[in-house]
Structure 1
Amino acid sequence: MEDLHMNNTYDYYENVEFVLRVLTYIIVGVGLPLTLVAIYALFSQVRNGQVAPIYVINLLISDLIQFCCFIIELTSPEGWKMQIAYFILDFAVSASVGFMVCVALERYLVVAWPLWYRFRRTIKTSVVVCVLVWVIPTVSLLTLYFLVDFKVLLSICAIYLLLPFPLLIFFLGGTLKALSACTVPSDEKRRIVGVLVLVLLIYTLLFMPRIISFLAISDNHYINNLSLMLLRLSPLADLFLYVFMRKGIIDKLLASVCCCRMDSNDISRSPGNDDNIHTVSSV
């Protein structure tokens, strides 16, 4: 009976490992070339003097690092090589969360503090913020890896990854509240709200399960493996941010499915009234 249980357990691990490897192959095969194309396209915008895509570019670079770590893992290295790959993967995931917060913060500032954002947004400021987002996880992880127990490390990492959650909710709520008074065109409003909603969804659906498993320090292999699979989908999900940064077909899509209708600054004036009316009305 005990042998049967051990065989079932072994078969389970074999099946999970197979599914995880197949999923990783798909993620790398689809995500890696698309991410390279998206980075190139966004970088061309920066060269034209636009600041907005910088955080998205860095987010995609962190995803690129994750893809490289996935490839190393698929080659099944042993010993210190695998440990280094896992460390770099943890670093890239931490940086990814940081840049998600940066993207959400920038979109919030465009709507809530447009004048301040207009005069403060410079490539120099964005570069400094990006350097901080890259450096902080590196220093923190290097320090923690040598000073704390593994279970304590998991709890600290979970708390670090959990900190952006209230910020993302605040940015979305503050943006929705400020929309009616802002002078941003309606199509741009839809893209801003779409980016904020997408960032919050990616974080909640793909990162939060892994954070919960870290905090619970659960031995439930189903929960751990499911949360790991969801987390590995995040680099693919980040590609949708690139789509939302582009004008064109996404505007028509957002206009048809958006839960709020945002009137443009320059559309119809009320009879006898020379002022433009900006509303956010429920559909």
Structure 2
Amino acid sequence: MEYQHIECYLEGAVGVLVLNRPAQLNSFNEAMHREVAAILKDWDRNPEVRAVLLTGKGRGFCAGQDLGDRAVNSDQAAPDLGQSIDRYYNPLISRITGMAKPVICAVNGVAAGAGANIALACDIVIAGRSASFIQAFCRLGLVPDSGGTWFLPRLVGRARAMALALQGDKVSAEQARDMGMIWQVVDDEALQSVAMQQAQHLARQPTYGLGLIKQAIHRAADNSLAEQLELERDLQRLAGRSEDYREGVDAFLNKRTPEYKGR
């Protein structure tokens, strides 16, 4: 499949996905949604891809929805925005959070609207120092989607989440890191190399177990302690039967570097 709106390639065991509509700050239209969905579906099933790195081309990460696709006037019926969420944004967030391998996001500029929440859906978020995050929905009379109302309160607390969603203020990369929204801030010129180093490191790890860790942490938000303890037991049982666990123990006992396969 040839891609018009994204760039994608493998660097070792890391799948690199670059949103590539820089003139539109990498905002999503339907064609880009379809391309992103296709490559993530492929990489999710491909055992050779052990980690995914998501970033944007140019001066922005992603400005969310391309409003040029949504322009309406008084003579037109109101668009069904829920249909777009059902068809594109919700499956995208579910794919990122449900992938049984790490997804690292390198935020290289503004991340606004759905673009901010797509970044927050990733497992590890590294931002360039000039990056920013904006819950821009309120400026158009809309509700944060793409998981925004779920991620924000869990990452930064209810008070901050409410203010960010109601006011639509720009949050700098340093502010986002300090309030627990993202993991790390680096100089702009180092962003891609640092993010790739992180992705390559994770790709060498026991990624079967990393996928189970993702599952446990995502489910913890809605589980009681008793339910979470049972989930940990069940996932640990699966982890203990993996080839990666056997390799890790054998490498430890024989004082050698493990060679994990992700299974």
TM-score norm. by structure 2 comes to 0.27
Select the structure that is richer in strand: 2
TM-score norm. by structure 1 comes to 0.26
Select the structure that is richer in helix: 1
Decide which structure has the larger Cα Rg and report it: 1
| Greater relative CO, 1 or 2 (CA 8 Å, sep 6+) | 1
